């Protein structure tokens, strides 16, 4: 083994050690234990993984971190390449007693350099022109069970725009990472395929520009702007509800881009089927592609997010404080990061370490937030209350029988679950014996219609709502 090879192997070991100190243990083990140092050439380190999927994820999330750390350690501009080898080869080269060996039989590495090398200044300018937020990258997105599907779909799209999952809709509540993923797609494409034209806008920006183009008689300029892109990213399409003219324009833009095999990705705060005042032909366009959802993160993911954010800020905080935040902030990623930012700011501005007692004082509202979250009515409770009122069992409401005496209580329970909780129609349908979301929406519309035409019926629903609200308090 050459001296250069030995040196770079040692540099890689130190790089991996430093990265391990900055990442949550579970995240490090998931990805860095599945790659290995293979060999080196002149100012080039070649890493191996047992599948292209593993390498794609490592490249998207950690390549910059790996390269920057290696360059810092060596004092040289180091190029890092990746190649797929068999699982047995990975096991062989990662054995503690075995040093990596040069071999003429190693597969040719996959070059992961950008197709066109461009300066950071030009890259930033391109991102600015595309309205992208450069701080949103795949590498800064924490993956959990709640977001893995959406993350991997977004990465696949970024790697093969116009080929994989076109169009795509990412939906979920406020602060769960929809905008982060949308911008990550755009930033990845500009970093790796800069010849493609990317455009990111919110639905509100799209609407305002459309209205302005009509007033200034520049509609053709507007059409050209959005129809001559390779990748169109539109955030918050729920804003388009009731805006018929804008929907009409987006419909034609969609068709133009789709026929040209240009990539489109949209985000929404709920499934398309739950939007109101959206034309059928536009909603059908959204639904024809891949629809993926983002759910609130679980405790383990919340802890991983907090630790990653701490690492990014170069700050530290006790495990006790992090546990306190992760336990009490169950709503979304945005609230989680806001709580952490408040503590970091306090510590930095006053130049003092935060104690657990001080953290609880600064974030005193958290227990009440947690209590409110825990008090969210379960669907089972709603079914039980409605069943008792109409003298039918929960089993009958969830069952498949379509007796007249059961249909209305079942629809009322669905209506109330949709009206006074944050559960999606898909989640509600699942609790009602595995029914789909369209059944829930039909029940909601049916009860809403009856309430408008029957005062006595409306009073019954209002009484049930009051009873359920009292349970929450």
pLDDT digits 0-9 by tens, 90-142: 666 665 544 444 443 444 444 444 333 445 666 667 777 888 888 889 988 98
pLDDT, position 210: 92
Cα 235 to chain centroid, rounded: 13
Quote the Cα angle for 210-166-425, to 5°: 85
* Alpha-carbon gap, residue 26 to 148, rounded angstroms: 14
Whole-prediction pTM: 0.55
Total Cβ atoms within 10 A of residue 105: 5
> Token pair for residue 233?
């990213």
Q: Find the helix packing angle between 455-472 and 379-390, rounded to 10°.
A: 130
Q: DSSP assignment, residue 81?
A: E
Is it true that 299-374 and 379-472 share their CATH fold?
Answer: no
CATH of 122-294, one of 3.10.105.10, 3.40.50.300, 3.20.20.70, 3.90.230.10: 3.40.50.300
Neighbouring-strand partners of residue 168 = 265, 290
Domain ranges of the chain: 3-93, 122-294, 299-374, 379-472
* Alpha-carbon gap, residue 264 to 153, rounded angstroms: 13
Coil, strand or helix at 230 = coil
The whole-number average pLDDT for the span 240-266 is: 93
Number of separate helices (H) and strands (E) present in the chain? 22, 8
pLDDT, position 301: 86
Coil, strand or helix at 317 = coil
The 10s digit of each residue's pLDDT in 352-388 is 888 888 888 888 755 444 444 444 678 889 999 999 9
CATH of 379-472, one of 1.10.40.30, 3.90.105.10, 2.60.120.10, 1.10.1750.10: 1.10.1750.10
* Alpha-carbon gap, residue 8 to 6, rounded angstroms: 6
Q: How far is CA 269 from CA 157, 169, 407, 419, 426, in A?
A: 20, 10, 30, 16, 14
Higher pLDDT, 165 or 332: 165
pLDDT, position 369: 45
On the question of pLDDT at 425 being above 90, the answer is no
Task: Give pairs for 337-342: CB < 8 Å, separation 24+.
Answer: 337/305, 337/309, 339/363, 339/366, 340/306, 340/309, 340/310
pLDDT, position 208: 92
Contact assessment for residue 255 and residue 135, using Cβ atoms and an 8 Å cutoff: no
- Percent of the residues in the chain that have a pLDDT greater than 70, as a whole number: 86
> Token pair for residue 3?
């001296």
pLDDT, position 133: 87
Top mean-pLDDT range of 199-213, 338-352, 360-374, 454-468: 199-213
In terms of DSSP bridges, do strands 168-172 and 263-268 run parallel, antiparallel, or are they unpaired?
Answer: parallel
* Architecture category of domain 299-374 in CATH: Orthogonal Bundle (1.10)
Higher pLDDT, 107 or 459: 459
The whole-number average pLDDT for the span 31-45 is: 85
On the question of pLDDT at 220 being above 90, the answer is yes
Contact assessment for residue 192 and residue 114, using Cβ atoms and an 8 Å cutoff: yes
On the question of pLDDT at 239 being above 60, the answer is yes
Residue found under tokens 């009602």: 432
Give the lowest-confidence range in 313-322, 326-335, 438-447.
Answer: 326-335
Residue (of 327, 357, 359) closest to 340 by Cα position: 359
Coil, strand or helix at 204 = helix
Residue (of 264, 253, 262, 244) closest to 226 by Cα position: 253
pLDDT, position 120: 61
Contact assessment for residue 196 and residue 161, using Cβ atoms and an 8 Å cutoff: yes
CATH of 3-93, one of 1.10.260.30, 3.90.550.10, 3.40.50.720, 3.30.300.180: 3.30.300.180
Cα dihedral 21, 23, 27, 29, rounded to 10, equals -10
pLDDT, position 105: 45
Q: DSSP assignment, residue 319?
A: H
Neighbouring-strand partners of residue 36 = 48
């Amino acid at each position: 083994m050459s001296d250069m090879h030995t040196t770079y192997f040692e540099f890689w070991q130190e790089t991996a050690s430093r990265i391990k100190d900055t990442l949550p243990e579970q995240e490090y083990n998931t990805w860095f234990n599945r790659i290995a140092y293979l060999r080196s050439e002149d100012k080039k380190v070649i890493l191996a993984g047992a599948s292209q999927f593993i390498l794609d994820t490592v490249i998207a999330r950690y390549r910059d971190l790996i390269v920057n750390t290696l360059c810092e350690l060596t004092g040289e501009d180091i190029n890092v390449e990746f190649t797929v080898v068999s699982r047995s080869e990975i096991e062989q080269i990662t054995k503690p007693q075995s040093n990596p060996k040069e071999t003429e039989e190693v597969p040719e590495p996959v070059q992961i350099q950008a197709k066109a090398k461009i300066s950071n200044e030009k890259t930033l300018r391109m991102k600015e022109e595309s309205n992208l937020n450069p701080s949103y990258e795949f590498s800064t997105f924490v993956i959990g069970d709640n977001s893995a599907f959406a993350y991997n779909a977004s990465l696949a799209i970024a790697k093969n725009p116009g080929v994989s999952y076109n169009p795509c809709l990412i939906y979920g509540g406020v602060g769960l990472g929809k905008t982060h993923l949308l911008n990550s797609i755009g930033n990845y494409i500009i970093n790796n395929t800069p010849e493609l034209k990317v455009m990111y806008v919110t639905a509100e920006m799209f609407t305002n520009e459309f209205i302005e183009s009509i007033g200034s008689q520049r509609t053709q300029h507007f059409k050209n702007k959005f129809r001559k892109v390779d990748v169109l990213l539109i955030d918050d399409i729920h804003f388009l509800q009731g805006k018929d003219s804008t929907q009409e324009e987006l419909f034609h833009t969609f068709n133009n881009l789709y026929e040209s095999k240009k990539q489109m990705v949209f985000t929404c705060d709920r499934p398309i089927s739950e939007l109101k005042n959206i034309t059928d032909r536009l909603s059908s366009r959204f639904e024809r592609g891949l629809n993926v959802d983002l759910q609130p993160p679980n405790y383990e993911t919340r802890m991983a997010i907090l630790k990653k954010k701490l690492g990014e800020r170069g700050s530290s905080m006790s495990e006790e404080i992090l546990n306190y935040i992760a336990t009490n902030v169950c709503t979304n990623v945005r609230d989680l990061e806001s709580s952490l930012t408040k503590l970091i700011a306090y510590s930095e501005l006053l130049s003092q370490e935060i104690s657990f007692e001080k953290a609880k004082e600064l974030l005193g509202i958290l227990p009440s937030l947690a209590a409110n979250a825990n008090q969210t009515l379960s669907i089972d409770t709603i079914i039980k209350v409605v069943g008792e009122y109409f003298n039918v069992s929960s089993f009958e409401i969830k069952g498949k029988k379509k007796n007249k005496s059961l249909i209305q209580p079942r629809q009322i329970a669905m209506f109330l679950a949709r009206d006074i909780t944050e559960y999606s129609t898909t989640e509600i349908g699942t609790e009602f014996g595995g029914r789909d979301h369209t059944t829930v929406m039909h029940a909601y519309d049916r009860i809403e219609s009856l309430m408008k035409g029957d005062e006595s019926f409306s009073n019954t629903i209002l009484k049930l709502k009051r009873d359920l609200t009292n349970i929450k308090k």
